[in-house]
Amino acid sequence: MERKQIKIGLMGLGTVGGGVWQLLQMNRESIAAKTGLDFEIAKVAVRDLGRKRAVPAERLTDRPEDLYEDPEIQVIVGVLGRPDEGRHLLAAMNAGKHVVTANKAAVAADYEALREAAERNKVLFRYEASVAGGIPILHAIEQSLQGNEYQELMGILNGTTNYILTHMTEEGADYADVLKKAQELGFAEPDPTADVEGIDAANKLSILLSLVFGARVLPKDIPTEGISRISGADIAAAKEQGCKIKLIARAAKTDKGLEYSVRPTLLPKEHPLAGVNNEFNAVFLKGNAVDELMFYGRGAGALPTASAVWGDLIEVGKEIAKGAAYDLVVAGGPAEA
Amino acid sequence: MERKQIKIGLMGLGTVGGGVWQLLQMNRESIAAKTGLDFEIAKVAVRDLGRKRAVPAERLTDRPEDLYEDPEIQVIVGVLGRPDEGRHLLAAMNAGKHVVTANKAAVAADYEALREAAERNKVLFRYEASVAGGIPILHAIEQSLQGNEYQELMGILNGTTNYILTHMTEEGADYADVLKKAQELGFAEPDPTADVEGIDAANKLSILLSLVFGARVLPKDIPTEGISRISGADIAAAKEQGCKIKLIARAAKTDKGLEYSVRPTLLPKEHPLAGVNNEFNAVFLKGNAVDELMFYGRGAGALPTASAVWGDLIEVGKEIAKGAAYDLVVAGGPAEA
């Protein structure tokens, strides 16, 4: 079988972008053997052209526009991680490119505009990596679980806060001490606000609210409380009740309508989410047919997030390959089997 | 938007077939609102026409052939659960019908023949419900996770044995006593052999070996040991080592090649699978990009299994709807947007 070439423009070469590059070096052959698709990362947009990188210099540019203005590039991967990334994703769609992104803030902020632009331009828009990193939750909701109506969703959606709470629980240590250690180990950012105040989790919950409950709620409208005021004494008191404290993003249908929040929550030790420790993430769902489900895995990190990006990229590649056969049929040429 | 009608032939009205019927009664409106597809279960094949059932009598037949010989029916759902079901699934494909099934024994036994017949007849063949019931694992492997190469797979794939082991562990009870109680509660069959001897788990592992490692291994060629010789003393000894005994279906790449087995296994209490109790199932995967992942949920039961069948059915329905637009284009008529 002749292999179909798919050319990618990679917008951003930070942690996730580096993982997207690295995964292709690792698994290019096995992906091609499984799918018949030969992917190439043709151009990479970075901020600083002067830094040494794994990517050959001739593929680098400091203008994101160069990616979506290139007629050979078919898919743009948006992993700049900047809040204004949505602008570039929209421009890429308007230039006829399919878009895959891991940027939860951009997806949560510009959801309608991005969906609308994808539809108008007849391009694919996929964002599995924007929620819970490597855990394939969005796709499962959109496909395998679509026969359900949902009653409840609970997620541990932020690895930094789960790491901190786990170590506070295991070591009986206080918040400030564990945060400092987490920062030294690279599990928390120098400015940890977006993580520890629940903002990152609220962005992800906003995306899940759209998909699971069909409800459009902006992150700023989700009641959000972080973990920075949790003390060692709170954790000890929880333990005495046979509970653990976790930062839970929750949505549930109640008599009063759909309720949602991000807040520190007491979970009985038997709850499936109570065993989710350290930097791991998990999503717990309750549907009216499937009942209880939980997905567990790495919610961040270069390669786990790249795994989700590549799942999307390969699906886009398959559609491009199908579309080529389809165009051939419409043009009156011979159809591929 | 006009709703596209999809007509289903339901082959079997046992536990799973009843769930497939019931889910449509529960969620028909929400499915139609989400997808634009209006599903109808037009005909149902049963063994005994004399029994009272929820399905109107005029839709019942005792000839499975009536379903796939009906020109109006587009999809056959195979949930007879009988070992010879593969024969009917093949006949349905040869009659041009898409096929969705939950019958793991038929899929494991006739995998190549079914895949080949689907390809030859250009019909869809989906079987998410055949492994781990409501847990959407097959689809995740085929799509979201397809950028990975896998190192290891471990599954708790049989609810009956996990229920028995959980109660032996919690109550310090012996195998025979717990089995008897499980049979009284309906968690174990009157003849429990296929479950307790690991045969059911081996069928499911055979399907997972194909998808995860691209290896075709018949269930009879998987080294398989059940739980019927586990004693209360074994469980107590495991506990003293900080471990639990679970019936684990495992496959792993080693220096000696791909190894696989179904057998009672000591798991450290901290392992994500150790917390999977009672009739719940789980699949634990390790990929070279995504690292550790676990999917947890109900591996059996009418509605959880029906959730997986309906996930497949709705995807098939979407393809039928797309195909109609495609045929229109080929015939020279106006294309739908």
What would the two tokens of residue B133 be? 């019931």
Q: Which CA distances in Å does B129 have to A13, B46, B258?
A: 39, 20, 25
* CB-based contact, B317 to chain A, within 8 Å: no
Residue A187, C-beta contacts closer than 8 angstroms, at least 6 positions apart: A159, A160, A163, A279
Cβ within 8 Å, pair A27-B147:
yes
Query: For residue A231, which amino acid is it?
Result: S
Report the first-to-last Cα separation within chain B, whole angstroms.
12
User: What does the alpha-carbon distance between residue A106 and residue A102 come to, in Å, rounded to a whole number?
Assistant: 9
Residue B1 pLDDT? 62
User: What does the alpha-carbon distance between residue A280 and residue B122 come to, in Å, rounded to a whole number?
Assistant: 42
Percentage with pLDDT > 90 across chain A: 87
* CB-based contact, A273 to chain B, within 8 Å: no
- Test the B interface: residue of A144, A156, A269 with most B CBs within 10 Å: A144
Order of strands, sheet of A98-101, starting from the edge strand that comes earlier in the sequence: A60-61, A37-45, A4-11, A75-78, A98-101, A125-126
Residue B307 CA, distance from chain mean position: 10
- Test the B interface: residue of A38, A146, A305, A315 with most B CBs within 10 Å: A146
Residues of chain A with Cβ-Cβ distance to B210 below 8 Å are: none
User: What does the alpha-carbon distance between residue B200 and residue B226 come to, in Å, rounded to a whole number?
Assistant: 10
User: What does the alpha-carbon distance between residue B280 and residue A247 come to, in Å, rounded to a whole number?
Assistant: 25
Does the pLDDT of residue A336 top 70, yes or no?
Answer: no
Phi and psi dihedrals of B159, rounded to 5? Answer: -70, -35
Cβ within 8 Å, pair A134-B35:
no
Order of strands, sheet of B60-61, starting from the edge strand that comes earlier in the sequence: B60-61, B37-45, B4-11, B75-78, B98-101, B125-126
Catalytic-role residue among A43, A104, A204, A244: A204
For CA atoms B117, B120, B126, B132, the dihedral sign is positive
* CB-based contact, B145 to chain A, within 8 Å: yes
Return residues 27-86 of B near A (CB < 8 Å).
27, 30-31, 34-35
Helix boundaries (H) for chain B = 15-35, 64-68, 85-94, 104-109, 111-121, 137-142, 159-171, 175-185, 193-196, 199-213, 232-240, 302-330
User: What does the alpha-carbon distance between residue A109 and residue B173 come to, in Å, rounded to a whole number?
Assistant: 55
Cβ within 8 Å, pair B308-A144:
yes
Residue A134 CA, distance from chain mean position: 7
Residue A324 pLDDT? 59
Residue A277 pLDDT? 93
For CA atoms A303, A304, A306, A311, the dihedral sign is positive
- Taking the C-alpha atoms of B286, A80, A189 and A155 in order, what is their torsion angle to the nearest 10 degrees? -50
Q: Which of B256, B260, B253 is nearest to B287 (CA)?
A: B253
- A144, A301, A326 member nearest B139 (Cβ): A144
User: What does the alpha-carbon distance between residue A59 and residue A43 come to, in Å, rounded to a whole number?
Assistant: 5
Across A10-30, average pLDDT:
97
- B288, B296, B329 member nearest A296 (Cβ): B296
Q: pLDDT grade, residue A227 (50/70/90)? A: very high
Pairing type for strands A60-61 and A37-45 reads: parallel
Least confident of A11-25, A173-187, B139-153: A173-187
Percentage with pLDDT > 70 across chain A: 96
Q: Which CA distances in Å does B143 have to A144, A259, A312, A324, B212?
A: 11, 32, 8, 20, 11
Residue A192 pLDDT? 95
Pairing type for strands B37-45 and B60-61 reads: parallel
Phi and psi dihedrals of B298, rounded to 5? Answer: -85, 120
B207-217 pLDDT per residue, tens: 999 999 999 99
User: What does the alpha-carbon distance between residue B277 and residue B50 come to, in Å, rounded to a whole number?
Assistant: 39
pTM comes to 0.90
Average pLDDT, chain A: 92
User: What does the alpha-carbon distance between residue A193 and residue B290 come to, in Å, rounded to a whole number?
Assistant: 27
The Cβ of residue B189 has, within 10 Å, a number of other Cβ atoms equal to: 13
Q: Is residue A192 a contact partner of residue A201, using CB atoms and an 8 Å limit?
A: no
As to burial, measured by CB atoms within 10 angstroms (0-12 exposed, 13-18 middle, 19+ buried), residue B264 is: buried
A288-308 pLDDT per residue, tens: 999 999 999 999 899 999 999
Give one DSSP letter per residue of A128-194, joined into a string.
GGGTTTT--HHHHHHTTTTT--EEEEEEE--HHHHHHHHHHHHH---HHHHHHHHHHHTSS-SS-HH
A73-98 pLDDT per residue, tens: 999 999 998 878 999 999 999 999 99
* CB-based contact, A327 to chain B, within 8 Å: no
Q: Is B244 a catalytic residue?
A: no
Strand partners, B6: B39
- In A, minimum Cα distance to B146 occurs at A311
Does the pLDDT of residue A286 top 80, yes or no?
Answer: yes
- In B, minimum Cα distance to A30 occurs at B149
User: What does the alpha-carbon distance between residue A307 and residue B147 come to, in Å, rounded to a whole number?
Assistant: 6
User: What does the alpha-carbon distance between residue B314 and residue A93 come to, in Å, rounded to a whole number?
Assistant: 28
The Cβ of residue B96 has, within 10 Å, a number of other Cβ atoms equal to: 12
Helix axes B111-121, B85-94, angle to 10 degrees: 10
- In A, minimum Cα distance to B139 occurs at A144
Name all domains of chain A by residue range, CATH numbers in brackets.
Answer: 4-134+301-330 (3.40.50.720), 144-298 (3.30.360.10)
Q: pLDDT grade, residue A331 (50/70/90)? A: very low
A230-265 burial, b at 16+ Cβ within 10 Å, e below that, comes to bebebbeebeeeebbbbbbbbbeeeeeeeebbbbbb
Task: Reduce the DSSP state of residue A317 to 3 states and report it.
Answer: helix
User: What does the alpha-carbon distance between residue A1 and residue A4 come to, in Å, rounded to a whole number?
Assistant: 9
Phi and psi dihedrals of B48, rounded to 5? Answer: -120, 105
Residue A1 pLDDT? 62
User: What does the alpha-carbon distance between residue A59 and residue A41 come to, in Å, rounded to a whole number?
Assistant: 9
B241-267 pLDDT per residue, tens: 999 999 999 999 999 999 999 999 999
* CB-based contact, A293 to chain B, within 8 Å: yes
The Cβ of residue B332 has, within 10 Å, a number of other Cβ atoms equal to: 7
User: What does the alpha-carbon distance between residue B42 and residue B68 come to, in Å, rounded to a whole number?
Assistant: 11
Q: Spell out the per-residue pLDDT of chain B, length 337, in tens.
A: 678 999 999 999 999 999 999 999 999 999 999 999 999 999 999 999 988 899 999 999 999 999 999 999 999 999 998 878 999 999 999 999 999 999 998 998 899 999 999 999 999 999 999 999 999 999 999 999 999 999 999 999 999 999 999 999 999 889 999 999 999 988 888 999 999 999 999 999 999 999 999 999 999 999 999 999 999 999 999 999 999 999 999 999 999 999 999 999 999 988 999 999 999 999 999 999 999 999 999 998 999 999 999 999 999 999 999 875 444 444 333 333 3
* CB-based contact, A319 to chain B, within 8 Å: no
Residues of chain B with Cβ-Cβ distance to A290 below 8 Å are: 134, 297-298, 303-304, 307-308
User: What does the alpha-carbon distance between residue A257 and residue A294 come to, in Å, rounded to a whole number?
Assistant: 24
For CA atoms A73, A76, A82, A84, the dihedral sign is positive
Does the pLDDT of residue A328 top 50, yes or no?
Answer: no
Nearest chain B Cα distance for residue A64, angstroms: 25
Residue owning tokens 């009216």: A288
Query: What ipTM was reported for this prediction?
Result: 0.90
Residue B139 pLDDT? 92
Residue owning tokens 């795994």: A307
Residue B251 pLDDT? 98
Does the pLDDT of residue A325 top 60, yes or no?
Answer: no
As to burial, measured by CB atoms within 10 angstroms (0-12 exposed, 13-18 middle, 19+ buried), residue B300 is: buried
Residues of chain B with Cβ-Cβ distance to A280 below 8 Å are: 292
Q: Is residue B97 a contact partner of residue B76, using CB atoms and an 8 Å limit?
A: yes
Q: Is residue A312 a contact partner of residue A130, using CB atoms and an 8 Å limit?
A: no
Q: pLDDT grade, residue A41 (50/70/90)? A: very high
